[in-house]
Amino acid sequence: MRGYIALAVLFIATTQAAAVDGRVRAACERDYLAYCSQYDPDGPDVRRCMRAIGPRLAEPCVEALMGAGELTSIEVARYQQSRRSRR
């Protein structure tokens, strides 16, 4: 019985950790629909997709992702540098 409870707690913790923050969902909705809508919004594939299109993400989305711990400051700096070089 204890094993089942531990497994249930682990599953719930993992599911909650994978859920997308509400601020991220609101700030990134357009980017998600434009580039990554073929993926489950709470799954790992959407995170890979958003990282892959990083420099094309809207600034509010990047800020929300960074605030939620989904992007590092190094990734954000790389995205900003890429944007500047495309101008």
Count of the separate structural domains present in the chain:
1
pLDDT of residue 21: 84
- Counting as low any pLDDT under 70, the low residues of the chain are 1-19, 87
Mean pLDDT for all residues in the chain: 78
Burial of 87 (C-beta count, 10 Å sphere; 0-12/13-18/19+): exposed
Residue among 81, 57, 84, 83 at smallest CA distance from 70: 57
What is the extent of the structural domain holding 65? 2-86
